[in-house]
Structure 1
Amino acid sequence: MRSISGHFRALLLGIAGALLLAGSADAAEVRVMISGGLTAAYNALVPEFERQTGNKVLTAYGPSMGTTVNAIPVRLERGEPADVLIMVGYALGDLAKQGKVIADSRVDLVKSPIGIAVKAGAPKPDIASADAVKRALLAAKSVAYSDSASGVYVSTEMFEKLGIADAMKDKAKKIPATPVGEIVARGDAELGFQQIAELRPVSGIDIVGQLPPDLQKITVFSAGIATVSKEPDAGRALIKFLASPAAHDALVKSGLEPIPAKVTN
């Protein structure tokens, strides 16, 4: 009986070991390029995705646009490997038109509003209306905005809409490849404009609030599969997870509004 029992135990251990090896063999490495808008929520969610699937996620961070060395289009152009791209929706659309993203893989994940920040402890200006924001901008000695979607809007549309484009030329600066909040935190700008989700993780600042509705510009962040992907199925699984109800709370906590997944028959 003992020998049979021992043999049975060894057989079970062997089966368990084989299953473990099989699981390891099936596990994929999913390479992701992601811009700042979803980073905080993404970093909180990825460990659970890895736990559920056994896949390993390898992440490269950078802006959705621009010419800095870590910008996602620049990374792709120099041949860096990628399976999943998570970035500003219209920038992802541009990459799809260039043949760098599988067009029907796109999933819109969240809406992201623009906010205003000041250095921690500094007086918070009134930003309840467009006129109030205009007064705050004219009173500020220095203003910072990002080199991505929110900054493009602030510098090319919002200043014009407020009629202060000329007044802002010398004191409003575009910040490439660095969170605007960090510039505000160290006192290099009195006011900082960036998406709320990108301001929240930065210490040393106070978020005044969102732009008022008549000035607000909502950015959609989307995910898609790179045409060079070596793990498209694992990549799609990650996108599905980020768009699922399981991701909802983490997205909301980071200042984002989840976009309900489209139901297909």
Structure 2
Amino acid sequence: MTTELNVFSTIAVQPAVESLAPSFETAHDCRLVVTWNTAPALVKRLQAGEMADLLILNRAGMDTMISDGRVAPGTDVTLASSATAIAIRAGAPRPDISTPDALVRTLRAARAISYTDPAAGGASGIYFAKLLDRLGIAAEINAKTKFPPPAGLSGQFLVSGEAELAVQQKPELLQVPGIEILGPLPGELHMVTTFVAGVETASAKAAMARALIDFLCTPPAAEVFRAKGLDPA
């Protein structure tokens, strides 16, 4: 019988992991059963009693799980990192976001924008909401903001024409056909999220989970992470 390896993973690495999974499954005669969501949502589910063999979370989420005793000591490994970026519909005029002041002007000029709902727990949404507060434009921008559903993609609103700018992790933006990355948040506003894998302490398949982490750290895997918009560790 094919072994199933249960993985709880943040959606930021979904394109890379889904591309790499078939090779690992074939080599190890197993099947990856992956639950995709934002890292905070996954942490809540784990704290409510759910289990997985392998966790792929942001650094903050992994630190919480380590503190809770849910990650086997010494198994947490940094896989990759990603910048929060801004996208536009493919072929649309490219507004200036080269400086913080230029970004503020561009956000104010946009008819509508989309970023992930901070209540859903995504790192980019939480950071961007705080950034709007810090820039003093939160009420103005949020009045014309469209939030995707939890674990959704803000870039979809660019394709539908419901928004002119979308903000999210770069690999999540790259999942949406028909849009273009304008660039990362400028200057001191730049934000990078680190993604970490770790083996669940109570997993009965710890050896296979460790093998998956090793596989995700190989040079060929690093190239896939890079192609999907992440910076491998």
In the superposition, the TM-score normalised over structure 1's length comes to 0.79
- Residue 173 of structure 1 deviates from its aligned partner by 4.5
Q: Distance in 2 between matches of 1:173 and 1:106?
A: 35
Any stretches of 5+ residues in structure 1 without a counterpart? 1-23, 66-70, 260-265
| 1:237 alignment counterpart | 211
- Residue 143 of structure 1 deviates from its aligned partner by 1.9
- Residue 204 of structure 1 deviates from its aligned partner by 2.9
Q: Distance in 1 between matches of 2:50 and 2:89?
A: 36
* Residue number among 103, 109, 113 corresponding to 1:133 in the alignment: 103
| 1:85-128, Cα deviation, whole Å (9 max, x unpaired) | 11211112112222333343211111101111122332221111
* Residue number among 38, 55, 58 corresponding to 2:30 in the alignment: 55
Moved over 6 A (4+): none
- Residue 28 of structure 1 deviates from its aligned partner by 3.2
Q: How many pairs align?
A: 228
| 1:72 alignment counterpart | 42
In the superposition, the TM-score normalised over structure 2's length comes to 0.89
| 1:149-188, Cα deviation, whole Å (9 max, x unpaired) | 01111111x2234332342232235433211112332223
Percent identity, please: 36
3-state secondary structure, aligned to 1:31:
strand
Aligned runs of 1:184-199 on 2, under 5 Å?
A: 184-199=158-173
- Which one has a bigger Cα radius of gyration? 1
| 2:224 alignment counterpart | 250
3-state secondary structure, aligned to 2:101:
helix
- Residue 140 of structure 1 deviates from its aligned partner by 1.3
* Residue number among 151, 155, 158 corresponding to 1:177 in the alignment: 151
| Conserved? CA contact 2:11–2:151, under 8 Å | no
| 1:34 alignment counterpart | 9
Q: Which has the higher contact order (CA 8 A, sep 6+)?
A: 2
| 2:136 alignment counterpart | 163
Q: 1:120 to 1:54 in 2, by over 3 A?
A: same
Greater strand proportion: 2
Any stretches of 5+ residues in structure 2 without a counterpart? none
| Conserved? CA contact 1:120–1:206, under 8 Å | yes
Q: RMSD value over aligned CA atoms?
A: 1.9
| 1:123 alignment counterpart | 93
Q: Distance in 2 between matches of 1:170 and 1:75?
A: 31
| 1:150 alignment counterpart | 124
Q: Distance in 2 between matches of 1:83 and 1:254?
A: 24
